[in-house]
Structure 1
Amino acid sequence: MLFPAWARVGPLREGAFRGRLHDARTAVSLGRVLGAALVVCFVTGLVSHYLQQPPSWAVNHLPSRPSWGYRLTQGTHVATGIAAIPLVLAKLWTVYPRLFAWPPLRSVLHGLERLSVLVLVAATLLQLVTGLLNTVQWYPWPWNFRPAHWALAWVVVGALALHIAVKAPEIAAHWWRRSPGTLRLPAADGRDRRAFLATVGAAVGAVTVTTVGQSLTPLKDLDLLAPRHPDHGPQHLPVNRTAAAAGITAARLADWRLTVRGPRPYELTLPQLRALPQRSVVLPIACVEGWSKNAHWSGIRIRDLLDRAGAPDHARVRVVSLQQHGAYAVMEMGDLYARDPLTLLALSLNGDVLSPDHGFPARIIAPNRPGVLQTKWVTRLEVLT
């Protein structure tokens, strides 16, 4: 005998789990909501990844509209990721007695099924926990978060698809409230199940309402648990990297000029930039950590600066920052962004000169773009053909 009877002790003994609601109906009820949350989180994560790091062939095809597009998708990404945490914990509570089913392995196929569940649970928990820590910019691990998060997302989705395929008959049998072939459970179980699911729903609602205000500003007064409040920061707008953290000092800005390299290169001082025709736009800063807020920006259209340099309409632009520390000191934007009339080299924010933490003397502001690519402390624009 592969598993002797004497090994059936502790949680493996028969009747070890007497609590109700560890049944398939409850698991399926939670699973369909959790599955939807994970799929939405995955799709919006794809959008974020390709906007931050597009393949070379896609740079000139990324859309600059709708101007609020990235704010919506990234806010949804973080909100569904946070909402998935209590859903995962509730789902695990419902199914955990199956981890101690007897016999532990019935066949090779059963062993592979259990291994796939282990991969799904471990990858999902790791993905959600590291994603949550990313929202507070705390990285207590040695690897680079973004590529690891990207790779792990595919592991989660693949394991989820495999799990659904394996469990499809059982899921189908319990999907609807009165499916044929399902067991009729005691009336008390029905009441307990509804109470349990209502409690889980309340937990999901609570964590969502108390965090989503960092992006959904009508709920900002309820933003109690999120790491950012959309009104807190210089000029009433949050910042992730301060001027000091980026190595920006008064000495480095003393002789600042904007250099534009193209067929007709030129340089402009800050007074000369301010003398050019100014445009005003309302655009959001939307951060990959999930917070976002609309603001009023004024400055010179990038397309006007490129035309002055003799740039062709299809040209891409490389933007170079003065920052010395941190990522994204150099970024590129495709022609749809560069030629969009809403894309500015901004000189002022909410009616005032940019503060040092918001990129003084000049920064990029563009529609439908991650905040990490709204380059601050711009010193050079390079036309790429």
Structure 2
Amino acid sequence: MTPRTRRRPVLPPVRPPSFSGRLHDARTATAVGRWLGLAFAVCFVTGLISHYLQHPPGWLANGLPSRPVWGYRLTQGLHIASGLAAIVLLLAKLWAVYPRLFLWPPLRSVRHALERLSVAVLVSTAVFQVFTGLLNVVEWYPWPFSFVPVHFAVAWVVAGSILLHLAVKAPEIRAHWSRRSAGTLELPAEDARDRRSLLLGVGAAVGAVTLTTVGQSFTPLKRLDLLAPRHPDHGPQGLPVNRTAAAAGVTPAALRDWRLEVLGPRPLTLTLDQLRALPQARARLPIACVEGWSVEAYWSGVRLRDLVARAGGRPDAGVRVVSLEVRGAYRVMEMGREYVEDPLTLLALTLNGEVLSQDHGYPARIIAPNRPGVLQTKWVTRLEVV
């Protein structure tokens, strides 16, 4: 018996996917892109402010302003809020344009290849930037590189990519900027309704993310702070703590014989009781961290400029602050003269009328206006007049 000849299955020809939905179009992408561009612009500018307050170049160190006292709190709150909003808007933008990834042929000319390469750089760096920023907010770093310099460098790449993209796409953006634009005059009424519904949904998602996270810095909305990793009232003495004494390697044994050294033309060493015997000042100042949370509190202690004067420092002197912590990128901090001379800059000994807890920097910490939380050094053991 002759076996039956098996016929090989015939595979259908490979065709690129087709997209017929009208909302995957230039008008939708432009509408979302306007808000995404604004979010990235706010995030970029406030990120520059944050970076240069934390890592000022030498020529800028003495010129950083200590006022307004709430300056860093505002700019860093905007930085985190706009970054979180950008995540929602970026996902919506990618949804609107992803069918273009399947255009056939993929490369039609050298110019088209360069355009697609620029878009690939823009998308990859933008996704990298917003999602690593999100992980920084929750203090999770599953990568081998240092977050701050990489985040700062990639921010410039994103900004440059956006400007290049705007230049290349300017005619198309102009054609679809508004309802009256030339490219959108003939849209069916049902498509216009669907687009409005989509944009309202994206706006609602941005609003929900903002309302449920912004309370960590804008305390009138702290009751709605449901998605942020920190609540402004939760922590020792009613304030959050990013870095505990245990994490910094500061043990009770290290504090047992604590002294404050003030190095200058007339160096001195002070015990905690001697510090408490000096004239005390009180200030209501916010502490604002790079992760986005901030809260105001009452601090009291010795004015930093008074300690500098006792050590023989000049009025225009800066100060190097050294912490007891045994590990950490901010164990040594430098402070320019604008901060040193500000009467609100304190070597704080109490928080809200109570002696500092160990996690808040006992026995003494720096608190200064308009300053990132990472530079409000805790467990201060030495001040060097520079």
TM-score norm. by structure 2 comes to 0.96
CA distance in 1, matches of 2:13, 2:349: 72
CA distance in 2, matches of 1:220, 1:200: 23
Distance 1:8 1:120, change over 3 A: farther
Task: Measure how far apart 1:236 and its partner are.
Answer: 0.3
Corresponding residue to 1:238 among 233, 237, 240: 240
2:134 aligned partner, one-letter code = L
Aligned to 2:365: 363
Corresponding residue to 2:178 among 176, 179, 183: 176
Residue pairs, 1:86-97, within 5 angstroms: 86-97=88-99
Q: Is the 8 A contact 2:179 2:185 kept in 1?
A: no
Aligned to 1:341: 343
Aligned to 1:106: 108
Distance 1:177 1:345, change over 3 A: same
1:233 aligned partner, one-letter code = G
Aligned to 1:3: none
Secondary structure of 1:295's aligned partner: strand
Residue pairs, 1:103-182, within 5 angstroms: 103-180=105-182, 182=184
Aligned to 1:9: 14
Whose radius of gyration is greater, 1 or 2? 2
CA distance in 2, matches of 1:281, 1:342: 6
Which moves more between the two structures, 179-188 or 247-256?
179-188
CA distance in 1, matches of 2:141, 2:287: 23
Count matched residues.
376
Aligned to 2:72: 70
CA distance in 2, matches of 1:302, 1:203: 46
Secondary structure of 2:378's aligned partner: coil
Aligned to 1:286: 288
Q: Is the 8 A contact 2:26 2:176 kept in 1?
A: yes
Task: Measure how far apart 1:8 and its partner are.
Answer: 7.7
CA distance in 2, matches of 1:372, 1:116: 36
Task: Measure how far apart 1:102 and its partner are.
Answer: 2.0
CA distance in 2, matches of 1:73, 1:282: 19
CA distance in 1, matches of 2:19, 2:115: 22
Q: Per-residue displacement from partner, 1:286-313 (whole Å, max 9, x unpaired)?
A: 0001100001000000011111111011
Corresponding residue to 1:264 among 263, 266, 282: 266
Secondary structure of 1:241's aligned partner: coil
1:175 aligned partner, one-letter code = W
Residue pairs, 1:38-49, within 5 angstroms: 38-49=40-51
Secondary structure of 1:332's aligned partner: strand
Q: Per-residue displacement from partner, 1:316-366 (whole Å, max 9, x unpaired)?
A: 100000011222110000000001000000000011000000000000000
CA distance in 1, matches of 2:62, 2:196: 51
1:378 aligned partner, one-letter code = V
1:48 aligned partner, one-letter code = S
CA distance in 1, matches of 2:12, 2:347: 71
2:323 aligned partner, one-letter code = S
Task: Measure how far apart 1:183 and its partner are.
Answer: 4.1
Task: Measure how far apart 1:141 and its partner are.
Answer: 0.5
Residue pairs, 1:166-245, within 5 angstroms: 166-180=168-182, 182-245=184-247
2:359 aligned partner, one-letter code = D
Task: Measure how far apart 1:104 and its partner are.
Answer: 1.1
Q: Is the 8 A contact 2:53 2:372 kept in 1?
A: yes
Distance 1:18 1:279, change over 3 A: same
1:275 aligned partner, one-letter code = A
Unaligned runs of 5+ in 2: 1-10
Secondary structure of 1:196's aligned partner: helix
1:289 aligned partner, one-letter code = E
Task: Measure how far apart 1:173 and its partner are.
Answer: 1.1
CA distance in 2, matches of 1:7, 1:33: 42
Task: Measure how far apart 1:9 and its partner are.
Answer: 3.1
Q: Per-residue displacement from partner, 1:216-251 (whole Å, max 9, x unpaired)?
A: 111111111101100000000001110111111111
CA distance in 1, matches of 2:183, 2:102: 26
1:238 aligned partner, one-letter code = P
Aligned to 2:5: none
CA distance in 1, matches of 2:50, 2:319: 20
Corresponding residue to 2:256 among 254, 257, 267: 254
What is the percentage of aligned positions where both structures have the same residue?
A: 72
CA distance in 1, matches of 2:317, 2:179: 58
CA distance in 1, matches of 2:111, 2:183: 25
Does residue 1:302 correspond to 2:304, yes or no? yes
Unaligned runs of 5+ in 1: 1-5
Does residue 1:312 correspond to 2:314, yes or no? yes
2:177 aligned partner, one-letter code = W
Secondary structure of 1:56's aligned partner: coil
